[in-house]
Structure 1
Amino acid sequence: MTSSVSVQRIDPLGTLDGRLVALAAAISIFVFAVVMTWHNSAHITGPLWAVAAVLFVALTSLVIVVATGPLRPPFSRSMHLAAVFSAVIAFACSSASIGHIDDLMSSYWAPIVIGVTCMTLAPYRPVSELLIVGVAASVLVGLIAVGEAPVAGFESSSIVAALFSPTPVLAMSFGGAAFARSLVLSHQRWESRARTGARRQRDREHVSVARSVQQDRITILNRDVVPLFTELSKRGIVSPEDRTRAAEYSASLRQLMVTEVNRSWLEAVVASSFGALDDGNRVRDPHRLASGMTAHQRTALRAAVLAVATGGELVRDSVRLAIEKTPSGAVIIVHATVASPESSWRSSLAPYFAVLRVVFTGLQISYNSSSLIVRFTYDTP
Structure 2
Amino acid sequence: MTFPAPPRALGRASDRSPQQVDPLGALAARPITFGAALAALLVAVVGTLMRASDVSSPGAAVGALVAVAAGGVALVVSAGPLRAPFGPRALWCVAATCAVAGVLSALATSGSNPFVRDDWAGIVSGVLLLGVAPYRSAREILAAGGAVAVVLALVVLVEAPGFVTPVPTASYVVVALTPLLALTAASATFSGVFVAHVEGWVSRATGFRRASTDDLRVTLARSVQQDRVTVLNREVVPFFARLVESGRIVEGDADEARRVADALRASLVADADATWLARRLAAPGRRVPAEVVDPDRLADLLGPGHRTALWALVATVDDVEAADVHSLRVVLEAEEARVGITIELASGASAVAARRSLAPCLTVLRLVSGDLRVDRAPSLLTLRFSYDQH
Give the TM interval when normalised to the shorter protein.
Answer: 0.7 to 0.9
Separation in structure 1 between the aligned mates of residue 210 and residue 128 of structure 2, nearest angstrom: 41
Residue in 1 that maps onto 2:142: 131
- Structure 1 residue 268 displacement after superposition: 3.0
**Partner deviation per Cα, 1:116-168 (whole Å, 9 max, x = no partner):** 11111011011221222222222222222212222556533322222332222
Q: 1:17-76: CA deviations, max 9, x gaps?
A: 121111011011112111211222211222222222111111101101211122211101
**Superposition TM-score, scaled by structure 2 size:** 0.84
Given the superposition, is the C-alpha separation of residues 333 and 343 from structure 1 closer, same or farther in structure 2, using an over 3 Å criterion? closer
Alignment of 1:37-116 (within 5 A): 37-98=48-109, 99-106=111-118, 108-116=119-127
Q: Provide the residue aligned with 2:277 in structure 1.
A: 266
- Structure 2 CA distance for partners of 1:278 and 1:257, relative to 1, 3 Å: farther
Match 2:204 to one of 193, 196, 203: 193
Q: 1:290 aligns with which of 288, 299, 309?
A: 299
SS at match of 2:80: coil
Residue 191 of structure 2 aligns with which residue? 180
Contact 2:116 2:163 in 1 (8 A): no
Structure 1 residue 275 and structure 2 residue 285: aligned? yes
| Alpha-carbon distance between aligned partners in 2 of 1:22 and 1:218, rounded to the nearest angstrom | 55
Report whether the alignment pairs 1:7 with 2:18.
yes
Unaligned runs of 5+ in 1: none
Tell me which moved more, 322-331 or 247-256. 247-256
Shift of 1:217: 2.9
Q: Could you say if the C-alpha distance between residues 142 and 322 of structure 1 is closer, same or farther in structure 2, counting changes exceeding 3 Å? A: same
Change (3 A) 1:276 1:36: closer
Task: Give 1:185-264 correspondences, 5 Å limit.
Answer: 185-200=196-211, 203-221=214-232, 224=235, 227=239, 242=254, 252-264=263-275
| Partner AA of 1:102 in structure 2 | P
- Cα distance in 2 between the residues matched to 1:205 and 1:245: 38
The normalised TM-score by structure 1 is: 0.86
- Match runs of 1:340-359 below 5 Å: 340-341=349-350, 344-359=353-368
Greater shift, 117-126 or 322-331, is seen at 322-331
Of the three residues 320, 325, 336, the one matched with 1:311 is 320
* Residues paired across the two proteins, number: 374
Tell me what 2:389 maps to. Answer: 380
Structure 2: gaps spanning 5 or more residues: 1-7
| RMSD, aligned α-carbons | 3.0
Relative to 1, partners in 2 of residues 1:285 and 1:4: Cα closer, same or farther, differing over 3 Å? farther
Q: Which runs of 4+ in 1 moved over 6 A?
A: 228-232, 234-237, 244-247
d(CA) in 2 for partners of 1:276 and 1:11? 27
1:204 and 1:326 map into 2 onto residues whose CA distance is 37
The alpha carbon displacement at 1:175 in A equals: 1.5
**TM-fit CA distance, 1:223:** 5.7
Aligned counterparts of 2:286 and 2:48: Cα–Cα separation in 1: 65
Q: Could you say if the C-alpha distance between residues 267 and 348 of structure 1 is closer, same or farther in structure 2, counting changes exceeding 3 Å? A: same
3-state DSSP of counterpart to 2:359 = helix
* 2:330 equivalent among 321, 343, 348: 321
Higher helix share: 1
Segment of structure 1 superposing worse, 357-366 or 50-59: 357-366
